[in-house]
Each structure stands twice: as C-alpha cells, then as structure tokens.
C-alpha cells in the first residue's frame, strides 16, 4: 500500500475543504465574486498547508463559467475538463529549475488561451528557479498579457527575489492548528474505517507540525497493519516519543526521580528514537511548563529560571552537536544537573543505583538526615510562635531592608534574603518563606551564617509549607493551645555547610 494514497484521495477539490486558511480563501473568493483578478499571486507557507490545492481550485474558479459565491461550480465544461485543460499549465520548479522551461513558458504566454478567459501558470516551489530563470520570469511579470495569470507557490519566501515579490499579490498560508488537523484526521479515519485512539490522533497532529499532507501520510503509514492506532504503535513505527512519555520524563526531574529518568533515557537509546524530535519535544514541554509557572505563579521544584537555563543549555549543546557525540549522552548529562542542584545529592543517588549493597544503608541515613533537618526547622518555627509579635516582624523587615540597602549582605545570602519573605518573628527567631522547597533548603544550609548576620535564629520553609503551618497555628490559637519553647539540639546539629559555598562571599562589611 502506497503511503501517499490517503493524501491523494483526500486532496481538497473545493475551497470548503481547504483547512485552516480562512482569510486567504475568503479573499480569493471575493476576488472571483468582484471579478478583480490580478496577474500574479504568490502563496507562501510551510509544506502541506494547501498552497498547491488552493492554486488549482482558484485556477478552476477563475475560468469557471458559473462560479457560485466565488467557488468553481464543478459542472461547467471548464470545471469538468479542468485536468485536461491546455490553458492550465503546471510546473514544478524543484524539478524544472532551468531557464529553458521558463523561456518556453514566456514564448507561449503571448498565445491566447484555447478555451477559457485566462491562461493560468501554476509554478510550484518557485524559489528553486535559477537566477536567470527568475530574470526571464520577471520580464513576463513586468508586462503580462491581459489573458495570463501566474500563481506561484513557495515554502521559502525568503529565497524569492524581491523584484518578483513586488509584482505579486501575496498570501501567507498558516500552519494548520492541531485541533483542525485532528478534526480532519478523524473524518478520514472514519471514512476509511481506521481505528485510532483520541490520544494517537493528537500525537499524529503534533508530529505533522501543521501540515495536512504529513498528517495524512502518517495516518496512512500507521494504518498498514490494520491494528488500532495507539500511542504505543506510533512510538514503535515512527521511532518517536509520545508527548506523554516526554511529560513523564520531565515529571521525573520535577519529582527528583533519577532512576526513572535514567531508565527512560536508556529506553530511548535502545529504541534509537529520533534524537532531533526528542530534543524538540523536551524543549516544547519545558517551555510550556515555564510559561505556566510565570503565568499562574505555580510553585514547582524547579523554578522558571531553572527551566529557562535548561532550555538554553540544551539548545546550545544541540547547535554544536557533532557526529561523534552520542546525543543521548548530552541530553542525559545536561538534564541530570537539574536533579537536586547540589552535587552531593546527585552523587548520593547515583551511588544508590550503582552500589546496591550500600544503598539500603544510604537510604536510611538519608531519611534520618532529612528528618533531623526537618525537626530542626520545626522546632524553630514552634519557638518563634511562642513569642511571635507584629512589632518583631516589622523590626525584622526593616533591619533586612537596611542591611540589603547598605550592601551589608553579600553573595548567596543576599540572593536568598531578597527572594525570601519574612513571615513570622519573635524576639529570638525569624522565620522566612521561600518560593519552593529547593530554595528553602538552600537557605537553611546557610542558616548559621544568616543567623550571625541578622543576630537572630532563622529558619526557611517553602511558601506551601508556611501556609500549612499558618493554618495550624491559627487553629491551635483558637483552640487555646499555648506554645512552649522546645530546647534546640546541640549546636552541631544545625547544618553548617559553609564548605559547599564560598564563605568569603557571605560577609558583613
């Protein structure tokens, strides 16, 4: 079965079946209705968006004896014999890019049409013409005989000389929107008795990148085996990765699930999926997440900036990619960096994967460690609530503003304090909320230093966690609970990770 069959079979034959080019079609129909035909048109736009089909339908309408609302009637002698009409001359510049063919056109241009009102020349992929062919064409476009219409089509308008463009009425064909592609695919699938899931239709529309021809070709290719077309079948047949798999991949970063991430990349490698489409999909997915974060203020483990950096890194790597580098390795290495940005945590988890024996002990250690970290923060929050007062909050805010203004806090501590929000304060404690847990952890690791700078005991929690703590506090106060000081554990329990950061950058001048 030829995979182009569906595309041929469902090629639009009237204006109504051209999908997604409403403005262009409306204007062309109006020009037929008003009998205002130009001598040259140029249709530009991505492949498979209906340029050639539109050119043929328009040509038919121009010569039609009884056009209906600007559309060809389909019944008159011109419409019926359109394909054999000697007045319609089609040329594909991609295969005939020579000056001789154009010369022949020009010679014949002067001869009046045999049957119809107009001789119509449709030149596809016109940007492929050689310079001398363009010059020859230009001569005709400068003084076209009144019975001639040129319809030029191109996927690469930038390569068409401005001298040609300036003599044409230009129409830009748009990529067809995914919902329109899905709607059309669904109609064809029903007529052809092809079983296809809704998810798979969306995936085909995505892969077609706005082109109806590609969408139908993919549907055709997938329907060969007569099985129901599913996401799995698409992944297997097209060697691509479904949008859902990409979402799972990025979710694994968001959930800090390194082993899932590594397994997925391994699977891509084994299946030798097309890395260009992989990288494109990763970037699409990440940028829509980044936009969502910016737009809705959604709190996620990775910030807008993280996602933005990741996109820039991936793009940079792939513009420089050379044939000797395994592309999956690059994707893997760049993205691994976004699993808990602190090296020690990445190392720890990678070690878990490679050294099984050690792993159980490590997991237990890690759990204890994080529980203690958590305990320590909880104790400080509790102790702050014991004597929390509005005046301490105001004083604290003012002090931090002044320190920042006078440039007395520097480096990472400064960045952290600018981003953090002082939410509750007592005579002894200051509690801050951060955009996310990741930032809060970063700040808590510097907390000893920040304590010294601010002269109080500090702790940082995510905004989400703070909202929970606040609710809890209000509830407790209403119920008459009295907060009591809990003794903090000995000094060394408070993390002092100064060696990870450059201590010199955090100082009071």
Binding residues (CB under 5 A) for Zn ion: these are: 64, 72-73, 76, 79
Least distance between Zn ion and beta carbon 114 (Å): 17
Specify which residues 422 forms β-bridges with.
432
Cβ nearer to Zn ion, comparing 80 with 325: 80
Nearer to Zn ion by C-beta: 82 or 268?
A: 82
Q: How far is the CB of 30 from Zn ion (least distance, A)?
A: 18
Considering the complex, state which of residue 103 and residue 117 has its C-beta at the smaller distance from Zn ion.
117
Shortest distance in whole angstroms from residue 63 CB to Zn ion: 8
Closest CA to 89 of 53, 113, 67, 125: 113
| Minimum distance of Zn ion from residue 90's CB (angstroms) | 19
- Give min distance, CB of 91 to Zn ion, in A: 24
Q: Which is nearer to Zn ion, 54 or 439 (CB)?
A: 54
- Comparing CB distances to Zn ion, the nearer of 64 and 207 is 64
Output DSSP code: residue 229.
B
Q: Residue 1: which residues within 8 A CB-CB, separation 6 or more?
A: 220, 224
Minimum Å distance from CB 64 to Zn ion? 3
Alpha-carbon torsion angle 152, 157, 161, 167, nearest 10: 50
Cβ 16 to Zn ion shortest distance, Å: 15
Tokens (6 digits) for 94: 């991609």
CB of 66 to Zn ion, least distance (A): 6
Closest distance between Zn ion and the C-beta of residue 268, in Å? 53
- Calculate Rg over the CA atoms of the chain: 33
| Whether the Cβ atoms of residue 97 and residue 133 lie closer than 8 Å to each other | yes
For Zn ion, give the closer residue by CB, 82 or 173: 82
Nearest approach, Cβ of residue 119 and Zn ion (Å): 17
Cβ 69 to Zn ion shortest distance, Å: 13
Q: How many other C-beta atoms lie within 10 A of the C-beta of residue 508?
A: 11
Nearest to 50 by CA among 34, 83, 28, 33: 28
Would you say 463 and 472 are in contact if contact means Cβ atoms under 8 Å apart? Answer: no
Strands (E), 145-303: 148-154, 169-172
Nearer to Zn ion, 31 or 426 (CB): 31
Q: Which of 116, 135, 128, 119 is nearest to 153 (CA)?
A: 128
Q: Which two tokens stand for residue 78?
A: 């011109």
In 137-200, DSSP assigns E strands to 148-154, 169-172
Q: Which is nearer to Zn ion, 76 or 109 (CB)?
A: 76
d(CA 130, CA 170): 21
d(CA 133, CA 491): 84
Q: What is the DSSP string of 3-57?
A: TTHHHHHT---SGGG--S-HHHHHHHHHHHHTT---SEEEEE-STTSSHHHHHHH
Whichever of 113 and 145 has its CB closer to Zn ion, that residue is 113
Helices 356-386 + 343-354 axis angle, to 10: 140
User: 73 or 415, CB closer to Zn ion?
Assistant: 73
Nearer to Zn ion, 73 or 231 (CB): 73
Nearest to 10 by CA among 147, 194, 138: 194
Shortest Å distance, C-beta 33 to Zn ion: 14
Nearest to 204 by CA among 185, 223, 190, 188: 185
Nearer to Zn ion, 75 or 177 (CB): 75
Q: How many residues does the chain have?
A: 509
Closest residue by Cα to residue 333 from 313, 306, 319 = 313
Question: 63 near 78, Cβ under 8 Å?
Answer: yes
Per-residue DSSP letter, 338: T
User: What is the CB-side half-sphere exposure of residue 48 using CA atoms within 13 A?
Assistant: 21
């Amino acid at each position: 079965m030829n995979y182009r069959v569906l595309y041929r079979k469902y090629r639009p034959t009237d204006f109504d079946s051209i999908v997604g080019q409403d403005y262009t079609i409306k204007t062309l129909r109006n020009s037929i209705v008003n009998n205002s035909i130009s001598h040259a048109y140029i249709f530009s736009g991505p492949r498979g968006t209906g340029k050639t089909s539109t050119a043929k339908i328009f040509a038919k309408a121009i010569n039609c004896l009884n056009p209906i609302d600007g559309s060809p009637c389909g019944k008159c002698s011109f419409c019926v014999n359109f394909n054999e009409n000697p007045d319609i001359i089609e040329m594909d510049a991609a295969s005939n890019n020579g000056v001789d063919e154009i010369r022949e056109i020009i010679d014949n241009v002067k001869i009046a049409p045999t049957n119809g009102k107009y001789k119509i020349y449709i030149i596809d992929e016109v940007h492929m013409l050689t310079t001398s062919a363009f010059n020859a064409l230009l001569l005709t476009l400068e003084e076209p005989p009144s019975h001639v219409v040129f319809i030029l089509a191109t996927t690469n308008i930038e390569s068409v000389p401005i001298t040609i463009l300036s003599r044409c009425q230009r129409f830009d064909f748009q990529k067809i929107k995914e919902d329109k592609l899905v709607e059309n695919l669904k109609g064809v699938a029903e007529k052809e008795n092809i079983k296809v899931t809704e998810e798979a239709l969306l995936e085909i529309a995505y892969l077609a990148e706005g082109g109806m021809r590609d969408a139908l070709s993919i549907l055709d290719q997938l329907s060969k085996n007569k099985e129901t077309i599913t996401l799995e079948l698409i992944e297997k047949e097209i060697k691509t990765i479904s949008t859902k798999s990409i979402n799972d991949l990025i979710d694994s970063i968001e959930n800090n699930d390194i082993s899932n991430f590594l397994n997925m990349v391994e699977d891509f490698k084994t299946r030798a999926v097309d890395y260009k489409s992989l990288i494109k999909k990763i970037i699409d997915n990440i940028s829509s997440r980044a936009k969502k974060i910016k737009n809705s203020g959604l709190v996620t483990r990775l910030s807008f900036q993280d996602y933005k950096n990741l996109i820039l890194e991936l793009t940079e790597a792939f513009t420089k990619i050379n044939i000797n580098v395994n592309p999956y390795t690059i994707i893997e290495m760049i993205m691994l960096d976004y699993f808990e940005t602190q090296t020690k945590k990445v190392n720890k988890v990678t070690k878990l994967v490679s050294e099984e024996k050690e792993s159980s002990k490590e997991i237990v250690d890690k759990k204890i460690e994080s529980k203690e970290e958590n305990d320590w923060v909880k104790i400080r929050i509790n102790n702050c609530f014991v004597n929390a007062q509005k005046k301490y909050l105001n004083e604290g805010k003012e002090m931090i503003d002044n320190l920042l203004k006078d440039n007395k806090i520097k480096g990472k501590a400064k960045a952290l304090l600018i981003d953090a929000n002082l939410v509750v304060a007592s005579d002894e404690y200051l509690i801050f909320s951060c955009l996310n847990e990741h930032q809060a952890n970063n700040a808590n690791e510097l907390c000893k230093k920040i304590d010294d700078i601010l002269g109080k005991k500090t702790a940082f929690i995510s905004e989400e966690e703070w909202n929970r703590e606040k609710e809890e506090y209000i509830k407790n106060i209403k119920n008459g609970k009295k907060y009591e000081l809990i003794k903090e554990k000995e000094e060394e329990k408070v993390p002092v990770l100064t060696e990870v950061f450059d201590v010199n950058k955090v100082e009071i001048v």
